[in-house]
Structure formats: C-alpha cells, structure tokens
C-alpha cells in the first residue's frame, strides 16, 4: 500500500498536467481580482458579501477536476493489464490512487488559501471589521475541501463507468452540477420535500459548501453527509473495478 502510494506520488510529480491545476487556480484568482476591480465596491468586505466568493470557488471546483488524471492514466496508457501482474491487490492499488488524489487536493487547497490571501491583500481594506469574514472564508475553504473529495470520488466513478474524459466532464459539470434544482422540484411534486432532497444533490452540496454564514448544525450535517457519500461512492467504484479487473484477468 505504502509502495503504491509512493509510486503514485512519484508519477504525479513527473506529470505536467498536475501543474495545470495550480496554474489554473493562480490565473483564475488573478483574473477574478482584476475583474473585481471594475465593480463599484471592490474592498475586502464586499468580496465576501457580494457573492463573488462563489466565483472563486467555481475556479477551485474546476481545478479539482484535473486530478482525474491520477485515476485515468491506466485507461489512457492501457496499463490496466499491469495490475494483473502486480502483487498489490486491486483494493490497495486503487485506494493508493484515491489517497494520492486527496493528498494533491489538500496541496491544492493550501495553494488556494495562499492565492486567495494574496488576492485579498491587493484589494482595498474597506469599512468594517474583516475578521469574521476571514473566519467564514476559512470555514468555506474547509467545506470546499470536503466537497472536493466528494467531487474526486464522483469523477472516479464517472471515469470507471464512461471511460471517456469529455463525457465525464460533461456529465459532471453540465448534468450532475445543474440538475439539483430539477431533482428538488420533482421531489417537491412527489411530496418528499424539495428542501430535504436538494442538499443531497451535487449542486446542493456545492451550494452548502460555498454559502457563507450557515449555522453550525448545518455544517456538521454537511460534513457527516458528504463523508458518508464519499464512502458509498468509493465502495461502488471499487465494486465496479473489481468486476472489470477480474474480466481483464480472465481475458
């Protein structure tokens, strides 16, 4: 397991695609700060209160998608067959991949924090106390990190099912991310309660993660529900992979 993890981290260091996620976050944040400069109020307080923070979060959500390559490289380079020769078990092999994605994701979040702090420093101070907003910003980053882990788990599942990069991209960003409101409306019509169903969707989870000033109880529910969903999705992915690798072995 440790060897697999080391191997995956080594591969990550060598792959230039990973660098793109960091460059994308940096460029996106610089761009957003530049654009915020055109707004009537462009101080540090307004950036938290005007809803601009969700724009920064959307950059992170998109950058996290790049981590797909850790999972997808076996399909891309046709090296899935190597797993049949390896002594490492399937579970260990793919768990090492998933853990690598989480490690890179944490590194990305640290980079996001650095970039966002630098962007804030370039803006005017504005009127009012910024410390509650900074605390809120950190909580958003924490929830966003957890959402990103769920995003990774969903992307991995999508890749295992579709085996196509663009289809997975479209399914995640167009279908899953935007279907929350429609699912909630259908649930409302069915009498289940749209408000209860919406947070369970990808769009709903993202909204909860990026909304500022949500009650502490809601934050705890979010953390528990997202962790549970990550475990369920990852188990499902492993089950599908198990069948697939057994099929490769039979071949």
Partner 1 sequence: MVNVIRSEIFKSLRSTYFRICLVGGSLFIAIAVLFIPQIANVAGFSIETRSDLSKIMPFVFTGACVALMIFFPIFTDIFKYNTLKNEPGSISLITTGKYLTALIFCLIFAAVFMASFTVTFFRLAPSPDTDKGLLAESLISFLATIPNYAAMIALIQLITIAAKNEIIAAIIYYYSFAQLFTVKLIMAGAMPEDMVILRHLTPIGEFYNLGDLRFSAVHITLSVVVGIVYAIVLHTMSRKYFMKRVMA
Q: Summarize as ranges the residues that interact with partner 1 (CB under 8 A).
A: 17, 20, 24, 28, 31, 35-36, 38-40, 55, 58-59, 62, 65-66, 68-69, 164-167, 169-170, 173-174, 181-182, 185
State in angstroms the smallest separation of the CB of 5 from partner 1: 24
Closest approach of Cβ 80 to partner 1, in Å? Answer: 17
Nearest CB to partner 1, comparing residues 17 and 228: 17
Closest to partner 1 by CB, 41 vs 242, is 41
C-beta of 237: minimal distance to partner 1 in Å?
A: 19
Q: Which is nearer to partner 1, 195 or 218 (CB)?
A: 195
Q: Nearer to partner 1 by C-beta: 34 or 138?
A: 34
66 vs 202 by CB, closer to partner 1: 66
Instruction: Provide the minimum distance between the beta carbon of 72 and partner 1 in the complex, in angstroms, as a whole number.
Output: 9
The CA-atom distances, in angstroms, between 90 and each of 87, 162, 167, 184, 242 are 9, 20, 25, 37, 7
Q: How far is the CB of 178 from partner 1 (least distance, A)?
A: 10
């Amino acid at each position: 397991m440790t060897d697999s993890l080391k191997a995956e981290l080594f591969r990550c260091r060598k792959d230039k695609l990973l660098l793109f996620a960091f460059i994308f976050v940096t460029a996106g944040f610089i761009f957003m700060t530049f654009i915020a400069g055109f707004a009537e109020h462009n101080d540090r307080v307004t950036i938290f209160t005007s809803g601009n923070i969700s724009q920064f979060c959307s950059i992170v959500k998109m950058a996290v998608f790049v981590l797909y390559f850790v999972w997808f490289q076996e399909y891309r380079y046709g090296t899935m067959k190597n797993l049949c020769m390896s002594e490492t078990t399937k579970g260990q092999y793919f768990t090492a991949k998933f853990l690598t994605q989480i490690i890179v994701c944490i590194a990305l979040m640290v980079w996001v924090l650095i970039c966002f702090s630098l962007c804030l420093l370039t803006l005017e101070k504005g009127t009012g106390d910024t410390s509650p907003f900074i605390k809120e910003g950190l909580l958003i980053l924490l929830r966003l990190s957890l959402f990103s882990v769920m995003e990774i788990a969903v992307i991995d599942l999508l890749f295992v099912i579709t085996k196509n990069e663009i289809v997975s991209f479209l399914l995640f960003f167009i279908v899953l991310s935007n279907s929350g409101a429609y699912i909630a409306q259908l649930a409302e019509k069915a009498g289940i309660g749209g408000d209860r169903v919406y947070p369970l969707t990808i769009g709903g989870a993202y909204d909860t993660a990026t909304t500022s000033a949500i009650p502490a109880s809601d934050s705890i529910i979010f953390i528990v529900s997202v962790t549970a969903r990550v475990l369920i999705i990852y188990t499902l992915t492993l089950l599908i992979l198990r069948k697939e690798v057994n099929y490769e072995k039979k071949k």
